């Protein structure tokens, strides 16, 4: 997948200094060198240089890794560890070395996200499963627990899907009531489209309130992030090309995204399609225009939120926002600009919550180790609202609140900002 020379360069940038060890969630759980970024780089070097075959222990380590990229933030040599892990997972996928059940679950999840109609069909079935009382009947019967307690628990990680997807209105252009300051494109995405439609509406409201025309191309697709992170790079590239075609037929100042994982990957389109003669330049163009919504709002002269939101809040930093996109100060500044907000810093705010895309589905027990540490920290804040900017984190934190009996809600930064515009208490 990657150019051999560039992989070799990344591998040999590692100084083996060990600064990555204390920030690695899997190392801190196991204290096993092999389960650290440094240890995994040694394993990958052996496999990439064909000194070792891909075996079950290598596969397990590559998927035990959360790909949170906290190691990249602290690495003094700037090793792009995430690229190595994705290359390793691609090689594993190409050779068919994944355990059967993991491959089955992963393939099903990624296939659902490949097209909008599949995602919407899945969302409709999930909504019916819950609204008809079937889920309650299944829970009371205990049938899932007979197969596995993990299987029983995994169903609660699924999102509450919206009654209507965000894009059900088919509206592709929104105009502000005030003077137009600029034009932005907006990603509706896959899971965000069916499960977090209200966050999208809040984002549109804030953009319109600040004078921006918003374009939402109807033929856009899933960004391809989860496919890329799980070794299915060709599928990710296919989705990237579809989105480039969908967005670049329009003229806009920025592509605004309210999902950290999606924004992180679209910013990498230029790198992912660097060897594609037809799309390389277009990919760079779209990547350069891509902005997380907090990044975008922080870059403009924001109309100050006027109405108080009297809530005690804390902020969990999504890995793909803080580590991949290096965005940390902007969401905090936006939240602190809201009148009435009592902002409490979250201990270990940058520590991964354990969601990591579909990690919590594939490796439930490992994910719960990460979540317990996160929720213990959340509990110390006595916050009424935990704020985060990624759908996976949002769902994981909601699950953690129920699992550990806390009384709070999870919100996106832009939803709190919208509350300040609307005075919704």
Sole residue written with tokens 């799309």: 279
C-beta of residue 191 within 8 angstroms of C-beta of residue 391: yes
Element (H, E) at 182: strand 182-186
In this model, does residue 144 exceed pLDDT 90?
A: no
Q: How confident is the model at residue 424 (pLDDT cuts 50, 70, 90)?
A: very low
In this model, does residue 85 exceed pLDDT 50?
A: yes
Helix (H, G, I), strand (E, B) or coil at 249: coil
Q: How confident is the model at residue 6 (pLDDT cuts 50, 70, 90)?
A: confident
DSSP assignment letter at 386? E
**Each residue of 100-114: pLDDT tens digit?**
888 898 999 999 998
Rounded CA gap, 257 and 276, in Å?
Answer: 25
Q: Measure CA 281 to chain center.
A: 25
Sole residue written with tokens 């592709």: 172
Give the relative orientation of helices 81-94 and 56-64 as an angle to the nearest 10 degrees. 140
- The total of other beta-carbon atoms located within 10 Å of residue 22's CB is 11
In this model, does residue 12 exceed pLDDT 60?
A: yes
**Each residue of 367-387: pLDDT tens digit?**
999 999 999 999 999 999 999
Helix (H, G, I), strand (E, B) or coil at 214: strand
In this model, does residue 135 exceed pLDDT 80?
A: no
C-beta of residue 165 within 8 angstroms of C-beta of residue 194: yes
The pLDDT of residue 293 is 98
Mean pLDDT for 38-64 is 95
The CATH topology of domain 166-299 is Glutathione S-transferase Yfyf (Class Pi); Chain A, domain 2 (1.20.1050)
Mean pLDDT for 146-165 is 72
* Domain formed by 312-422, architecture: 3-Layer(aba) Sandwich (3.40)
Q: What is the rounded average pLDDT for all residues in the chain? A: 92
- Domain residue spans in the chain? 4-94, 166-299, 312-422
CA distances from 375 to 132, 149, 380, 396, 409 (A): 32, 21, 9, 10, 13
Sole residue written with tokens 């037809």: 278
The pLDDT of residue 147 is 59
Rounded CA gap, 241 and 234, in Å?
Answer: 11
In this model, does residue 73 exceed pLDDT 60?
A: yes
Select 4-94's CATH number: 2.60.120.1310, 3.40.50.1370, 1.20.1250.20, 1.10.1060.10: 1.10.1060.10
Helix (H, G, I), strand (E, B) or coil at 210: coil
DSSP string of 306-333, one letter each residue: -S----EEEE---HHHHTSS---HHHHH
Q: In what order do the strands lie in the sheet with 312-315?
A: 342-343, 312-315, 385-387, 409-411
The pLDDT of residue 304 is 87
- The total of other beta-carbon atoms located within 10 Å of residue 214's CB is 21
In this model, does residue 66 exceed pLDDT 60?
A: yes
Looking at per-residue pLDDT, the higher value among 31 and 135 belongs to 31
The pLDDT of residue 423 is 43
Rounded CA gap, 324 and 334, in Å?
Answer: 20
% of the chain residues with pLDDT over 90: 79
**Each residue of 262-318: pLDDT tens digit?**
999 999 999 999 999 999 999 999 999 999 999 999 999 999 888 999 999 999 999
DSSP assignment letter at 1? -
Q: What is the dihedral angle through the alpha carbons of 88, 91, 97, 102, rounded to the nearest 10 degrees?
A: 60
């Amino acid at each position: 997948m990657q150019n051999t020379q560039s992989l070799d360069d990344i591998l040999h940038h590692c100084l083996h200094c060990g600064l990555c060890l204390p920030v690695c969630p899997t190392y801190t759980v196991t204290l096993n060198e092999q389960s650290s970024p440094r240890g995994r780089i040694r394993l990958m070097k052996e496999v990439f240089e064909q000194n070792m075959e891909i075996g079950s222990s290598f596969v397990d380590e590559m998927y035990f890794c959360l790909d949170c990229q906290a190691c990249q933030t602290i690495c003094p040599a700037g090793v792009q560890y995430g690229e190595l892990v994705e290359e390793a997972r691609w090689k594993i996928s190409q050779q068919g070395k994944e355990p059967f059940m993991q491959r089955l679950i992963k393939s099903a999840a990624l296939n659902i996200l490949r097209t909008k109609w599949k995602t919407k069909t899945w969302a409709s079935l999930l909504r019916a499963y819950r609204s008809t009382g079937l889920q309650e009947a299944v829970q009371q019967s205990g049938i899932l627990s007979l197969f596995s307690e993990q299987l029983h628990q995994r169903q609660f990680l699924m999102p509450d899907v919206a009654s209507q997807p965000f894009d059900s209105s088919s509206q592709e252009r929104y105009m502000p009531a005030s003077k137009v300051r600029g034009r932005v494109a907006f990603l509706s995405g896959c899971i965000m489209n069916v499960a977090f439609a209200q966050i999208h509406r809040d984002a549109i409201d804030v953009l319109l309130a600040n004078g921006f025309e918003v374009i939402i191309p109807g033929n856009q697709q899933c960004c391809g992030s989860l496919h890329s992170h799980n070794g299915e790079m060709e599928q990710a590239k296919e989705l990237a090309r579809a989105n480039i075609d969908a967005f670049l037929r329009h003229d806009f100042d920025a592509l605004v995204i309210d999902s950290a994982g999606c924004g992180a990957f679209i910013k990498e389109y230029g790198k992912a399609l660097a060897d594609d003669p037809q799309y390389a330049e277009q990919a760079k163009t779209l990547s350069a225009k891509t902005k997380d919504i907090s990044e975008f709002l922080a870059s403009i002269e924001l109309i100050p939120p006027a109405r108080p939101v009297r809530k005690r809040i804390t902020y969990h930093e999504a890995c793909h926002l803080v580590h991949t996109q290096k965005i940390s100060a902007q969401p905090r500044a936006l939240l602190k600009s809201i009148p009435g907000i009592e902002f409490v810093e979250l201990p270990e705010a940058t520590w991964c919550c354990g969601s990591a895309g579909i990690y919590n589905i594939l490796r439930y027990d490992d994910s719960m180790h990460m979540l317990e540490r996160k929720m213990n920290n959340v509990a110390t804040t006595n916050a009424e609202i935990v704020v985060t900017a990624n759908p996976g984190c949002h769902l994981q934190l909601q699950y953690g609140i129920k699992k550990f009996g806390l009384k709070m809600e999870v919100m996106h930064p832009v939803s709190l900002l919208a509350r300040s515009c609307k005075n919704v208490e």
